[in-house]
Amino acid sequence: FFLPLKLEQKAKGRLQKQICQVVLDHFEKQYTAELGDAWSTVRDVLTSPWCWQHAVLLNRFSPSPGLESSLAEQGFHPAFPAALPYLPAALRCYSSTAPGRFPAQKHQPGRLKDYYLLNAASLLPVLALEVKDGEDVLDLCAAPGGKSVAILQCASPGHFHCNEYDDLRSRWLEQTIESFIPDPVMNLITVSKLDGRQIGDLQPEFYDKVLVDAPCSNDRSWLFSGDPQQAVLRLMQRKELSSLQFQLLRSAVKALRPGGSLVYSTCTLSRAENSDVISLALSSCRNLMPVDISGMARGVSQEFTFLSGTQHHELLVLPEKGRAWGPMYVAKLKKVSST
């Protein structure tokens, strides 16, 4: 059905990536302090792209005969066991312990793709959000669109608002949705380019569920910053990210209906951008409560490695060889009353 993976060629191509020493030095200092002994294992994976893995999320809107058997032949298995608190039957994802990448499909206008390649940990915020049919859902920072696509594999929202402020990333989001979602379902979707910090004021208490997959210091990509000057600038601006993330989170709370829930996620290990942002939200928003997601974490513990010692409402996926997923931070909160 598909050509076998040419892992050796893939690995050689990735070996040419150069690690940015200024970023690695910065991470070394910060994450040794924050993660302790776990950092050395994580560092080995993040600095070794040839051991990275990709999961395959099947598109329920474009079933492809033979795809699942082809994945099985190449050593892929269903990524999530059936014991999770929330696992819709339509959400089908395959992963493999071997490094490498299943062949990507090119965007073709008017034709739906059969699958989406992603870091398997990217599905954890979607599973934590627990979207049900008919709910009004907001994906506040939606590009490139993988989590939006995954949400639509799980349920059919009453209305689904996908927002991306950055112009280039917004076009990427639109193309992703066009590649995976058929016209009848597109009628449920609004794609906007609003400042996410303002949506809560523009649409107060409008949504049942909100995903805040916040802009963050992407540890994987930052380590391979091609331009050292850009890397230095990123590290200087890194201190400002937590303020932006908190503002986005506060906007999301305003946009939520009482009784609604939100999930906050990033792809960084940084405590300042993760648990510190959530702690600030909980201390400053009296109508917010943490939601226990430890059951989901236990259910996927065979697939993922988690940082120990986190609160019940949060988790942090740590990459390790053979389970090179993450970094991915996930926290869940519930709005208990009007602001």
Q: For residue 289, what is the domain's CATH number?
A: 3.40.50.150
Averaged pLDDT, 75-79: 94
Pairing of strands 207-213, 256-266: parallel
What is the pLDDT at residue 77?
Answer: 94
pTM for this one?
A: 0.94
pLDDT at 111: 94
Beta bridge partners of 261: 209, 334
**For the ranges 8-12, 141-145, 216-220, 287-291, which has the lowest average pLDDT?**
8-12
What are the CB-based long-range contacts (under 8 Å, 24+) for 307-311? 307/35, 307/38, 310/275, 311/275
| Least confident stretch, 13-22, 44-53, 86-95, 237-246 | 13-22
Quick: pLDDT tens for 224-274: 988 888 899 999 999 999 999 999 999 999 999 999 999 999 999 999 999
Q: What is the DSSP letter of 108?
A: B
Residue 8 lies inside a defined structural domain of this protein: no
Q: Is 136 contained in some domain?
A: yes
Residue-level pLDDT at 188: 94
pLDDT at 81: 82
The radius of gyration computed from the CA coordinates of the chain, to the nearest angstrom, equals 19
Cβ neighbours of residue 43 under 8 Å, at least 6 residues apart? 24, 27, 28, 31
Q: How many structural domains comprise the chain?
A: 1
What pLDDT is recorded for position 5? Answer: 43
pLDDT per residue over 279-338, tens digit each? 999 999 999 999 999 999 999 999 999 999 999 999 999 999 999 999 999 999 999 988
Summarize the confidence of residues 57-61 as an average pLDDT.
Answer: 97
As annotated, the binding site for S-adenosyl-L-methionine includes: 141-147, 164, 195, 213
Write out the DSSP string of 213-270.
E-----HHHHTT-S-HHHHHHHHHHHHHHHHHHHHHHHHHHHHEEEEEEEEEEES---
Per the listing, tokens 């940015």 go with 20
**Nearest residue to 188 (alpha-carbon basis) of 114, 131, 122:** 131
| Helix ranges restricted to H, the chain | 7-15, 21-35, 38-46, 67-73, 124-129, 146-154, 167-180, 183-186, 199-202, 219-222, 228-255, 275-284, 294-299
In the 8-state DSSP scheme, what is residue 189? Answer: E
pLDDT-based confidence at residue 136 (cuts at 50, 70, 90): very high
Residue 8, pLDDT > 60, answer no
Question: Has residue 326 been placed in a domain?
Answer: yes
pLDDT band at 339 (very low <50, low <70, confident <90, very high): low
**For residue 3, is it within any domain?**
no
Band of residue 2 on the pLDDT scale cut at 50, 70, 90: very low
Q: Can you name the residues that pair with 160 across neighbouring β-strands?
A: 137, 189
Q: Which two tokens stand for residue 317?
A: 């996926």
pLDDT score of 4: 41
Annotated binding site: 141-147, 164, 195, 213
Closest CA to 84 of 46, 128, 122: 128
Is residue 61 included in any domain, yes or no?
A: yes
- Angle (CA) 105-111-117 rounded to 5° is 30
**Strand pairing category for 159-163 and 189-192:** parallel
Quote the percentage of the chain above a pLDDT of 70: 95
pLDDT > 90 in the chain, percent: 88
Question: Among all residues, which ones are annotated catalytic?
Answer: 267
* 154 falls within a domain: yes
Q: Under a CB-based contact definition with an 8 Å cutoff, are residues 79 and 93 in contact?
A: yes
In a domain? residue 6: no
Asked if residue 9 is part of any domain, the answer here is: no
Residue 138: give the domain boundaries: 21-335
Distance, in Å, from the CA atom of 177 to the CA atom of 195, rounded to the nearest integer, reads 20
Decide if pLDDT at 83 tops 90: no
